[in-house]
Every structure is written in C-alpha cells, then in structure tokens.
C-alpha cells in the first residue's frame, strides 16, 4: 500500500490550498473527498434547468482576489477568468433609489452627496493600505504586523459594531451601503467586529473588485486540482472518511472538516480537555439558499443594480439590523436581509440564450428547516417589480438540509463557525497554533481555523506551514 507524506481529508479551497502548499515543498500528497467532485464550496452545477449553471456555494470572490495564496503565478489562468462586474455591489432602497460601491472610492463618495467627504476619509487610507491589512487579517493574527499604523487604523474603525461605525454618516444611502457589507459577518449589526467585515469587504470592492469566475466557481477547484496534480499530488473523490484509521498510511493528516466532524473522526484519540474545548465551539446562524433560472435579466428599478454583480437586499440600516437581530435571537425575519449574485451581468456562459441564473441566500437561525424562498423572492419583487414573471424554475435548500451535500455546513452555517470575538481571535480553540490538533500527526485546515470563512485558502496555507515546520523541518509557520 502507498505511504504518503500527507493525506488531506476534504477538497474545499482550504484542503486543496493545504495540499498544494505541501506538494510545493516536495511532499507526496493525497486528497480524499467524500463528494463526487472536488471543490467543497467551489462547485457549479445545473441545479434548475439544463444549461443553467449555478454556483452551489460561493459565487462572489473578493477574498480570493485579495488572497496572497491565489496571487501566485500558478493561478494566473484562474485570475484571468475572474470577471469584474462594473459595480462590485449595490444596495437598492425603496422609491427606485440605490446606493453602490463602485470600483473607485472617488465615484462612490461622489454618489453619496454630503456623506462623500466622510466616506473618502474612512475608505481612502484603508484602500491605500489594504495589503498590510490583508496580511494581518487573512492570517492567524499572531505575528507582529508588518505595518502597525495601517493595522491600527483598520482596528480603530473596524473593531466596533457596524451601527457605531455608521454614526459617521448622516444619510440613509451611506448607512445602508455599510450595513449591507457588514451583514456578511452573520452577526447582529450591534456586535463588535461587524464594522471590520464591512470595511474589509468595501475596501476590497475598490481595490480588487468583487469578481465572479467565468464559467462558475468550480473554476477555482479546477485550478487548484490542476496545480496539485502538476506537482504530483492525487485526488480521490466519492469516499467519505468515517475514521482516521480508514485512511492510507501517512506522516501527516490534515482535515478540512468542521469541529463536530473532527470529534467524530479522531474519537477517543483526542484528549478530554481538547474535546471539551471543541464542544464549546459554536456554529453561526444558517442560510437558506435559493437559485433561479430566469428568462432574462432582473428588472431592477434602480440603474446601478443592473450593472452590479452582488446586491444586498433589505432596505435601510435599521431594517437590515432588525433582520439580523431576529436571526441572532432565533427568529425568522419577515423581511430578510438577502445577498444576491447575478453572474450574468459579466458571464454569458451561465445560461442558454437570453436566460440568466440568479443566486441568493438569507440568514436564518442555525438548523432552521423553514424554506424562506418566498420571503427572499418578495425582497426581489420589492426592488425589481415583475421579477416573478421571469422565473422559469426555482430551487431552494433550507439550512437544515445544507449539510446534506457538505457536512461542513453544520445547521446551514457556511462560515465554519460563528464570528464572535472569541472565535475570530481563536478558532476552534484558544491555542497559539490552532492548526495543531493534540494527536500526533493530525492538523485542522478548514475554515473553522483562522482566518475563517470565505474562499481564500489561507486556513489551508497556515495549516500546511505548521505541518512542514512540525514534521518536515520547515521554518516557523507564522
């Protein structure tokens, strides 16, 4: 039987980024994936009608565009397939109005009228210093920052709540724009760090855009698998791992799984204290995902929305905050805050003829089995009257069913764990190096480790560097 240097369980972007990092160091690497195709959160399938290709999970890729891992020349081909909507994200408001994050700070500020100067003061320096901020926040936040002042500026504005940050602005549009971006934290907008999510994602819109992948997010998985196989690594699909002892022999095992699955896989081999600490790890709220096959483009009333790749639906800051507070309290909001992606604005390959695909999700309490597709569609009708007339087919997946196709989405949590302060600073447990699992040769490389959710691969990179350091004489991982 073949013996590998490293076996990776799970082929999400983090599992594959770990595998590529190890293979680049000359290791013999094998990836075992339970699903029929590799990619985890980067999959594209005909979910509704023939020829309509939908992103099953991730669709918009500001984090990939920011990620130091994907900046490597090996991914030039993938980066060439990142297509940029003219408007990274827009936020419709009642009365046919909308506010948008355009590619430049200047044009965004100009559209904000009297809030423009405050917007320029807040976002301008962050956009200029974005590399330094990314270097710190797409990492385990352990080493001294390369440019402390840049990080301090981000920290002062971003450590607090979105509601606090929004007090810098008087008008509904600027406040709504930030609320839409802050909603990606999947936390109440009164919670600490929600401002940081909004600032990072808005600065990304100005610096690298919010691209989609031409042909679909499965292109990310394809690029990773191509690079891994070029380096001699192998990927096996269709094999769910139940116990670590089922795996081929290897020096290291890296698991791209949720903490609940880590408990199951490693069983009694985990020390009791670590098991208890993992048991305290809390998932975030869930999502209900909805996909449509449409006969044409969404008839948004507001012009800016027609050119946007991503849209945040939910109305004013007050409304978005109320919806997210409901979710945090375990209630389904009547008017949910929804994240919508319309890849067809820049990618004609997703649907036949004049057709379009539309992708959306809204937050719901973890584990909710309620199909809220009608509530999501009502938000679309609110800002794009006549939307329903275009619907050829609709498919939805409740939070309770999200784990059916990927066990990492526990109760529909797509972020690998709640973004509380504790779990942002130390996930999944408090440890200097959280990628190490206290079982010889075992490491965690999923988004339940730092820096958390999203398609950036950096959880995998730091886990792989830890393996190289601990077992193969490599330099300190961070």
Ligand X SMILES: Cc1cc2nc3c(=O)[nH]c(=O)nc-3n(C[C@H](O)[C@H](O)[C@H](O)COP(=O)(O)OP(=O)(O)OC[C@H]3O[C@@H](n4cnc5c(N)ncnc54)[C@H](O)[C@@H]3O)c2cc1C
Q: Contact positions toward ligand X, by CB under 6 A?
A: 9-15, 32-35, 40-41, 57-61, 63, 240-241, 256-257, 261, 287, 289, 361, 406-409, 414, 416, 446-447, 453-455, 459
Provide the minimum distance between the beta carbon of 67 and ligand X in the complex, in angstroms, as a whole number: 9
- Shortest distance (Å) from residue 223 CB to ligand X: 14
Could you tell me whether strands 356-364 and 286-294 are parallel, antiparallel, or unpaired per DSSP bridges? Answer: antiparallel
Strands 442-444 vs 250-255: parallel, antiparallel or unpaired: parallel
Question: Shortest Cβ distance from residue 457 to ligand X (Å)?
Answer: 8
CA angle 120–186–254, rounded 5-degree value = 110
Least Cβ distance, residue 141 to ligand X (angstroms)? 18
Hunting for tokens 């020829």 — which residue is that? 51
Element of type H or E holding 239: none
According to DSSP, the β-strands at 308-313 and 87-93 are parallel
CA triple 287-284-325, angle to 5 deg: 80
Question: How many Cα atoms within 13 Å fall on the side-chain side of residue 408?
Answer: 31
Tell me how far, at minimum, the Cβ of 239 lies from ligand X, in Å.
7
- Are 192 and 159 in contact by the 8 Å Cβ rule? The answer is yes
Bridge partners of 394? Answer: 292
Q: Which is nearer to ligand X, 256 or 319 (CB)?
A: 256
Phi, psi of 138 (to 5 degrees): -95, 50
Strand partners for 31: 8, 235
3-state secondary structure (DSSP) of residue 309: strand
Nearer to ligand X by Cβ, of 319 and 413: the residue is 413
Measured from the CB atom, the residue of 153 and 289 that comes closer to ligand X is 289
Angle at 220 between CA 247 and CA 237, to 5 degrees: 25
Which residues partner with 356 through β-bridges?
A: 294
Q: How far is the CB of 95 from ligand X (least distance, A)?
A: 28
Nearer to ligand X, 281 or 409 (CB): 409
Shortest distance, position 37 Cβ to ligand X, whole Å: 9
CB nearer to ligand X: pick between 109 and 338: 338
């Amino acid at each position: 039987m073949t013996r590998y240097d490293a076996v990776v369980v799970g082929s999400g972007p983090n599992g594959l980024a770990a595998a590529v990092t190890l293979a680049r160091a000359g290791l013999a690497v094998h990836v075992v994936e339970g699903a029929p195709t590799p990619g985890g959160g980067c999959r594209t399938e005909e979910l509704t009608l023939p020829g309509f290709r939908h992103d099953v999970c991730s669709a918009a890729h500001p984090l990939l565009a920011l990620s130091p891992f994907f900046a490597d020349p090996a991914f030039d081909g993938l980066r060439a397939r990142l297509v940029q909507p003219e408007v990274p994200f827009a936020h419709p408001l009642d009365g046919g109005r909308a506010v948008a994050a355009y590619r430049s700070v200047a044009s965004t500020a100009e559209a904000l009228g009297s809030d423009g100067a405050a917007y320029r003061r807040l976002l301008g320096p962050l956009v200029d210093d974005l590399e330094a901020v990314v270097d710190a926040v797409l990492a385990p936040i352990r080493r001294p920052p390369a440019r402390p002042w840049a990080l301090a500026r981000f920290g002062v504005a971003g450590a607090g709540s979105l509601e606090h940050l929004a007090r810098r602005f008087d008008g509904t549009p600027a406040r709504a724009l930030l609320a839409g971006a802050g909603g990606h934290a999947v936390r109440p907008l009164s919670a600490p760090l929600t401002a940081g999510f909004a600032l990072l994602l808005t600065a990304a819109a100005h610096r690298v855009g919010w691209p989609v992948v031409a042909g679909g997010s499965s292109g990310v998985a394809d690029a990773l698998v191509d690079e891994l196989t070029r380096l001699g690594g192998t990927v096996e699909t269709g094999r769910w791992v139940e116990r670590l002892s089922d795996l081929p022999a290897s020096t290291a095992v890296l698991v791209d799984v949720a903490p609940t699955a880590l408990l199951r896989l490693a069983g009694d081999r985990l020390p009791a204290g670590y098991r208890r600490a993992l048991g305290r790890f809390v998932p975030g709220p869930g999502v209900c995902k909805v996909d449509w096959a449409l006969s044409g483009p969404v008839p948004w009333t507001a012009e800016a929305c027609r050119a946007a790749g991503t849209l945040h639906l939910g109305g004013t800051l007050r409304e978005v905050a109320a919806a997210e507070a409901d979710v945090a309290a375990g209630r389904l909001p009547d008017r949910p805050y929804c994240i919508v992606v319309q890849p067809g604005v820049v990618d004609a390959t997703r649907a036949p003829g004049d057709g379009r695909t539309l992708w959306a999700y809204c937050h719901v309490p973890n584990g909710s089995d309620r199909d809220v597709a009608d509530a999501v569609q009502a938000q679309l009708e609110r800002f794009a009257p006549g939307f329903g007339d275009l619907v050829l087919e609709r498919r939805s997946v409740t939070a309770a069913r999200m784990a059916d196709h990927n066990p990492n989405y526990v109760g529909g949590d797509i972020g690998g764990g709640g973004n509380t302060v504790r779990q942002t600073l130390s996930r999944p447990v408090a440890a200097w190096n959280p990628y190490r699992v206290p079982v010889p040769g075992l490491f965690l490389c999923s988004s339940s480790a730092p820096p958390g959710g999203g398609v950036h691969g950096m959880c995998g990179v730091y886990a792989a560097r830890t393996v190289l350091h601990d077992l193969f004489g490599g330099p300190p991982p961070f």
